[in-house]
Amino acid sequence: MRTKGTQATGEFSLIDLFLSHFPRARVPVGPGDDCAVLAPSKGAQCITTDAVVEDVHFKRAWFSPEDIGHKALAVNLSDLASMGAIPRWFVCALALPRDFPRRELAGIARGMSALAREHTIALVGGNFTSARELSITLTVAGELLPGTAPITRAGGRPGDVLYISGTLGDARLGLQQLLSGVRRSTAILRQKRPVPRVGLGRLAARFVSAGLDVSDGLAQDLGHLCTASRVSAELELERLPLSRAVRAALGTEGALAGGEDYELLLAVPPERTPAFERACLRGEVPVTRIGRLTRGEPGHIRDASGRSLRLPAGFDHFRGGRRIDRSGREG
């Protein structure tokens, strides 16, 4: 890891403090040199990057440092999961306000490293810089098992059955509760600590024709899958897996707009659905059949009665109409 612009705070001690929370990376060259050097196996590599930014994706008043560290890695692991990749390495670029408390930095490292250990992904390098707002940008890499194709958005065919993991809308409800002054609930935990579906992604790679992780709401992300696969879709709205709290507070429409669920939406050819469902049962991953892909105008989505679904705009987490200003008011 290298540092720019934080000389006053003792950059090397900050780096040492951060790294001390992670296991030593077992790679040819790890943190401390100008580049990390990796030794990939035979599988193809999947690489992605994503950032979490103060007052856009989290507020420091509401998220503990551990929550922030967890979420920064979780959103990236979710993208690896959606491709069916096995997490391997990541680099971390931290932008810290001047005089950022060392104990908060340690908290971020603890939250991140706990999730990294769970998924055996190694921190191999990064960068520190100073900035007005806290932000964490991760670049993560994973590998596909040799001979396994990645799960993409583009392989869906008419007739494929649609599945969603877990439940929808909880993270959005959690954000609404935070905005209204609630500080603790199951939904708030889903907002702060999303669980990337890495195991399901690996398992699903053997069965699915297409898939992606739901980060912008089911409606919007299903639209992405349909457009890429050049198909339309039929959703059985009454089958959507919603918690009782989400059903009461957001309803089906709100849950469809969702956002930050980080569940996987998967399309499975009908002849593979029995084996897929058995594998999910064995792996103890909850998945629900919610509809199917159909012929028709690409990206068009109907409900089971054939009514065209006017798709609510995807939920753009703390951005746009819901950006949170520094006083905590919804902007």
Least distance from Mg ion to the Cβ atom of residue 39, Å = 27
Least distance from Mg ion to the Cβ atom of residue 213, Å = 4
**Is 128 part of any known ligand binding site?**
no
Out of 54, 170, 213, 260, the residue judged to bind Mg ion by CB under 5 A:
213
**Is 34 part of any known ligand binding site?**
yes
User: By CB neighbour count within 10 A (0-12 exposed, 13-18 middle, 19+ buried), where does 178 fall?
Assistant: buried
Strand 232-235: give its sheet, edge to edge: 210-214, 263-268, 161-165, 287-294, 232-235, 301-303
Show Cβ contacts of residue 329 under 8 Å, excluding neighbours closer than 6 positions: none
Please report, as residue ranges, which positions from 151 to 180 form the binding site for Mg ion (by CB under 5 A): none
Least distance from Mg ion to the Cβ atom of residue 90, Å = 16
Stretch that binds Mg ion, among 130-138, 151-159, 212-220, 300-308 (CB under 5 A): 212-220
E strand map for the chain = 2-4, 45-53, 86-96, 122-130, 135-143, 161-165, 210-214, 232-235, 263-268, 287-294, 301-303
**Is 223 part of any known ligand binding site?**
no
Nearer to Mg ion, 15 or 287 (CB): 287
**Is 305 part of any known ligand binding site?**
no
Least distance from Mg ion to the Cβ atom of residue 256, Å = 17
CB 209 within 8 A of CB 268: yes
**Is 76 part of any known ligand binding site?**
no
**Is 22 part of any known ligand binding site?**
no
Least distance from Mg ion to the Cβ atom of residue 216, Å = 8
Nearer to Mg ion, 79 or 263 (CB): 79
**Is 54 part of any known ligand binding site?**
no
214-250 burial string, b = 16+ CB within 10 Å, else e? Answer: bbbbbbbbbbbbbebbebbbbbebeebbbbebbeebb
Q: Does residue number 263 form part of the binding site for Mg ion (CB under 5 A)?
A: no
Nearer to Mg ion, 160 or 213 (CB): 213
| Residue window 51-90: x/- pattern of binding to Mg ion, with contact defined by CB under 5 A | ----------------------------x-----------
User: By CB neighbour count within 10 A (0-12 exposed, 13-18 middle, 19+ buried), where does 181 fall?
Assistant: exposed
Least distance from Mg ion to the Cβ atom of residue 156, Å = 16
**Is 49 part of any known ligand binding site?**
yes
Nearer to Mg ion, 213 or 260 (CB): 213
Show Cβ contacts of residue 164 under 8 Å, excluding neighbours closer than 6 positions: 214, 218, 240, 241, 263, 264, 265, 266, 287, 288, 290
Residues of this chain that bind Mg ion (CB under 5 A):
79, 213
Residues placed in the known binding site for substrate: 57, 260, 315
